[in-house]
Structure 1
């Protein structure tokens, strides 16, 4: 029982080992389809301890072993216990995990994971296939940035605990960047700094090279007056205040990268290809996004490089649409919405992270950038792809009145039934590398269904 999984990573041995030693590594390697959630990372690969939350309030504790620590060649961990919540797993499960790094040459490393456990190898293989792909892709992204002159930065991030923010911050810290999480409560950790959205402190950006602004209330939900007000109020004025602060700070950030959305193009433009130069559309979300983007003007006018990331539907089972659809489709209850002809502009979570990363190092990027896959699909095609990935039928179409019952007429029109055939024109012209340009690739990756050797 157990597993040995190996792959060759195109990076020096020292770089591969160092990546694992940085904050964020465990988070980047945690498969998004699993019920485990990281609670705390190990402070050291020599003798640190990581803790993961399991269903039912249980805990998994991974204890690193000092006697196996041999940088940059090896580190190891085994299951341990820390408090009553971790005892059941420690008593029932045996888990010894050795991580080996073998230098093949100056630019290639063989990484080998050896796990001694009663769990069957075929059950573990998807997890380790995901981890090895994630590592290789992340290292490649950092190498591209370094080749374009990106040095370690100090990056302030709002919305760092959200779906995108948590993925992006762990990616940045494993790449050697310092992340300052801007939080609304009192700071509880050294990497946090308090942010008042209505009146940010004059020194909020002290020592900051770049700001990534992700904060905003979720748009999911019934479009009541209160919900619509929360969507607007959480975006426009806080964004304007950040932009004004960046504009009037002589020692502040040189770039401000803000979330935006393909809702800018309206809820239905038919089959029109929507590039960054396309006109804005109609509807509540189009109005919000336009005002949201315009709120960045003070920073732009002062000479700060501003990038507006117009994001499509993010694919991750940890949040967003896929988190809602996965249990339905897994139960065989998934189906197209209405006639299924509406266009879906989607983006894999890791490709979205790469786009924000590119905005840091590509000084030619400014203004709006469509953060969408080069392969938009219709709702019927998305339905088929998700069902095929999960090996479930998709024969139960959702009648158009269904979303209206849940979201109201406006919510259904702007969310569930929205149709935007957005394309990444600017990124395509820049020969941007997408990790998962096709929907089936992206879904298999984040759902643990990729074909492995």
Structure 2
């Protein structure tokens, strides 16, 4: 039982082994479709301990074996019992994972995984397929940045615990960068600094090379006057204050989240690149003011106009996946509205490029090259999950949650947005088509899955 598998990545063995030893590696390799969350990572591959949170309050503790540690050839971890929450899994499920690294040539390494466990290989294959692709794509992205002269940097990040922030910070730290998490609570770790969104401290960004600003209240919800005030208030003022702080500190780059809501709720079939005019409506007005707040002199500013992020850990896919898996999914209304989407790891790459590509400036459409209509999105998700998509969702369904204005601005929004700026820069997307993106994040890359 168990599994014995391997994959080849384009990097030297020292580079690959070094990647595994940096903070963030465990998080980058954790499959997003599994109901687990990384609680802590091992501080050392030699004798550290990593912990996963499982449903029902259970814990999976992976303890590294010092006697098997042989850098850069091998490290080993096994399941352990450390407290009551880890006892049920630790005592009942044998698991010993041998990670080996073989030189193929100067620029290629074979990563080998051997797991001794009663879990059959068929149940583990999709996880390791995901891990090999994540590793290869992340290493390639870091190599492209290094080839452009982007060396280790200190990067301050707001919203680091969110869907995008957690993925981005893990990616950056595995690339050898130092991440400073700007938090509102009293710092609990050495990589945190307390941040007052409306009045940042004068020394907040001391020693920081660049800022990535992701913080902002969730847009989801009924568009009441109070909710709209919270959306705007959490973005415009804090962005202006942080941008001014960044300028005063002399950081090289200020990269701020933005949204395709800038283009308005319904632009028909008009192709919208970064030069397209601003649309109408609450979100268009808010995004325009949000972007203007980040425009500060003396600092290169990149505004990441983000599409619909695809990850089962959050956003619309987290809501839709269980419905479609139960065979209850379908198009929304007539299904003709355009949905500009972006895979979570492609979005991470875009933020990364905004840090190292000094030619990028101003608004950048963070969407995949192939937007789809809602009906096509529904058919594709259903096909990936091997379910029908026969039940159209009437407009009044989401209106019960979002209200009339929220439905028009979110659920029924139609924006045919394209990444013209990234295309012109020769940017390489991990997933240009929706089906490959969904298959990757949902662990459905094999035909029998």
**What TM-score do the two structures reach when normalised by structure 1?**
0.98
Structure 1 match to 2:102:
102
Secondary structure in 1 aligned to 2:34? coil
Which of 337, 348, 356 pairs up with 2:332? 337
Measured in 2, the distance between the counterparts of 1:225 and 1:258 equals 25
- Please state how far the C-alpha of 1:105 moved relative to its aligned partner: 1.0
Structure 1 match to 2:274:
276
Measured in 2, the distance between the counterparts of 1:401 and 1:210 equals 44
Measured in 1, the distance between the counterparts of 2:422 and 2:219 equals 26
- Please state how far the C-alpha of 1:245 moved relative to its aligned partner: 1.3
Equivalent positions of 1:38-437 (< 5 A) are 38-249=38-249, 252-297=250-295, 299=296, 301=297, 303-437=298-432
Contact preservation (8 Å) 1:28, 1:134: yes
Measured in 1, the distance between the counterparts of 2:81 and 2:190 equals 26
Cα offsets for 1:232-285 (capped at 9, x unmatched): 000000000011112223xx3110000000000000000000000000000000
Structure 1 match to 2:433:
438
- Please state how far the C-alpha of 1:296 moved relative to its aligned partner: 1.2
Measured in 2, the distance between the counterparts of 1:332 and 1:310 equals 32
Cα offsets for 1:35-61 (capped at 9, x unmatched): 111000001000000000010000000
Secondary structure in 1 aligned to 2:72? coil
**What TM-score do the two structures reach when normalised by structure 2?**
0.99
Measured in 2, the distance between the counterparts of 1:36 and 1:367 equals 37
- Please state how far the C-alpha of 1:452 moved relative to its aligned partner: 7.7
- Please state how far the C-alpha of 1:91 moved relative to its aligned partner: 1.1
| Greater shift in the superposed pair: 233-242 or 398-407 | 398-407
In structure 2, the gaps of 5 or more residues are none
C-alpha RMSD of the superposition: 0.8
Measured in 1, the distance between the counterparts of 2:431 and 2:364 equals 18
Contact preservation (8 Å) 1:126, 1:452: no
Structure 2 match to 1:30:
30
Measured in 2, the distance between the counterparts of 1:31 and 1:247 equals 38
Measured in 1, the distance between the counterparts of 2:81 and 2:221 equals 40
Measured in 1, the distance between the counterparts of 2:105 and 2:248 equals 49
Measured in 2, the distance between the counterparts of 1:338 and 1:310 equals 26
Contact preservation (8 Å) 1:223, 1:408: yes
Measured in 2, the distance between the counterparts of 1:110 and 1:162 equals 33
Contact preservation (8 Å) 1:211, 1:257: yes
* Matched residue count: 448
Secondary structure in 1 aligned to 2:16? helix
Per the alignment, do residues 452 and 13 of structure 1 end up closer, same or farther by CA in structure 2, a change over 3 Å counting?
farther
Secondary structure in 1 aligned to 2:88? helix
Structure 1 match to 2:6:
6
Measured in 2, the distance between the counterparts of 1:430 and 1:341 equals 30
- Please state how far the C-alpha of 1:451 moved relative to its aligned partner: 2.2
| Consecutive aligned runs of 4 or more in structure 1 exceeding 2 Å deviation | none
- Please state how far the C-alpha of 1:425 moved relative to its aligned partner: 0.2
Measured in 1, the distance between the counterparts of 2:447 and 2:365 equals 32
